[in-house]
Amino acid sequence: MSAIKVENISKSFGKVKALDGISFDVKRGELFGLIGPDGAGKTTLFRVLATLLNPDEGGAEVDGFDIVKDYHAIRERVGYMPGRFSLYQDLTVEENLNFFAALFGVKVEDSYDLVAPIYRQIEPFKTRRAGKLSGGMKQKLALSCALIHRPSVLFLDEPTTGVDAVSRSEFWDMLADLKQRGITILVSTPYMDEASRCDRIALCNEGRILGIDTPTDIVAGFDSSLYAIKGDNMYQLLLAARKANGVRECYPFGEAHHMIADAEFDVEQFKAELVEVKGLHIEPTKPSIEDMFIKLMKQ
């Protein structure tokens, strides 16, 4: 049985279609990532699955319960961490944890083994008010609070947004650890580089899912040849490359431009075409998830 089963969910706000026929399955104990830019509908999807919103069409099951009919049962067994820091800023770290334990009717000690690896990192600051914590510590506290009632499914909406690189990496280590304990985790992130830490990912954009697979298979599914090009004048290069023969797509990517080429693309011919661009340098490169995302988005 899958832990989360989403079938053809649509949700509109006025004229804006936030979710447009979304379907996917998450297996028990899986770390599933929703990867997509802001406005892709990730937060809306979380709210639907966390039973805060009812879908316009379609349905979903979380842990075997229907999100519309049995929403009380779902609320008892999921941990939800909204994208925005949503703890009481004027309560201390310790008080927040106790408050959430009380809210779910559990004792902190009972879940301490689960929470401890995370909570121990912020324990030195337990008398500090939550509002005064750094971004990374806030997220650790929020995760501790979401775990306090031993949920079987965790919903984490952009948990690493606004967190420094080191804390982000630590955060993903914690998620891997929680996964080991059998908790199903649905996590969203706008950072493509984090996608490789998930078991499977769904690339989403504008309320639709572009593709679902493991990070390696997603990248392996990139069937065109990809080149990285550089030049003295990068903007001129970008415009020129887009007009060149056999170039399907060219876009800035870090300090180079990435270029998706057709089958009939020829490097020598390309160089000849762009002779006016000084210092042209072209080499084949390995596709990343971001390349795949852009390719799928343009289709």
Nearer to another protein, 63 or 291 (CB): 63
* Rounded Cα gap, residues 5 and 60, in angstroms: 5
Q: Based on the shown chain and the rule CB under 8 A, indicate whether residue 88 belongs to the binding site for another protein.
A: yes
Q: Based on the shown chain and the rule CB under 8 A, indicate whether residue 47 belongs to the binding site for another protein.
A: yes
Q: Based on the shown chain and the rule CB under 8 A, indicate whether residue 297 belongs to the binding site for another protein.
A: no
CB 77 within 8 A of CB 64: no
Cα–Cα nearest to 297, from 213, 225, 208, 220: 208
In angstroms, give the least distance from the CB of 244 to another protein: 48
Nearer to another protein, 122 or 153 (CB): 153
Cα–Cα nearest to 250, from 293, 233, 241: 241
* Rounded Cα gap, residues 246 and 224, in angstroms: 11
Helices (H) and strands (E) in the chain — how many of each? 10, 14
In angstroms, give the least distance from the CB of 129 to another protein: 9
Q: Based on the shown chain and the rule CB under 8 A, indicate whether residue 78 belongs to the binding site for another protein.
A: yes
In angstroms, give the least distance from the CB of 18 to another protein: 12
* Rounded Cα gap, residues 292 and 226, in angstroms: 10
Q: Based on the shown chain and the rule CB under 8 A, indicate whether residue 228 belongs to the binding site for another protein.
A: no
* Rounded Cα gap, residues 242 and 71, in angstroms: 50
In angstroms, give the least distance from the CB of 50 to another protein: 5
Cα–Cα nearest to 209, from 294, 290, 297, 287: 297
Q: Based on the shown chain and the rule CB under 8 A, indicate whether residue 62 belongs to the binding site for another protein.
A: no
* Beta strand 256-261 pairing with 225-230: antiparallel
Q: Based on the shown chain and the rule CB under 8 A, indicate whether residue 105 belongs to the binding site for another protein.
A: yes
Using CB under 8 A as the binding rule, the residues of this chain from 260 to 289 that contact another protein are none
In b/e form, how buried is each residue of 146-185, taking b as 16+ CB within 10 angstroms? bbbbbbbbbbbbbbbbebeeebbebbbebbeebbeeebbb
CB 84 within 8 A of CB 47: no
Binding mask 127-166 for another protein (x = CB under 8 A): ------------------x---------------------
Question: Considering CB under 8 A, how many residues would be counted as binding another protein?
Answer: 26
Q: Based on the shown chain and the rule CB under 8 A, indicate whether residue 84 belongs to the binding site for another protein.
A: yes
Task: Select the residue interacting with another protein from 38, 57, 90, 177 (CB under 8 A).
Answer: 90
Nearer to another protein, 90 or 232 (CB): 90
Nearer to another protein, 105 or 254 (CB): 105
Q: Based on the shown chain and the rule CB under 8 A, indicate whether residue 176 belongs to the binding site for another protein.
A: no
Task: Select the residue interacting with another protein from 38, 57, 76, 232 (CB under 8 A).
Answer: 76
The site for another protein (CB under 8 A) is made up of 47, 50-54, 72, 75-76, 78, 80, 82, 84-91, 95, 100, 103-105, 145
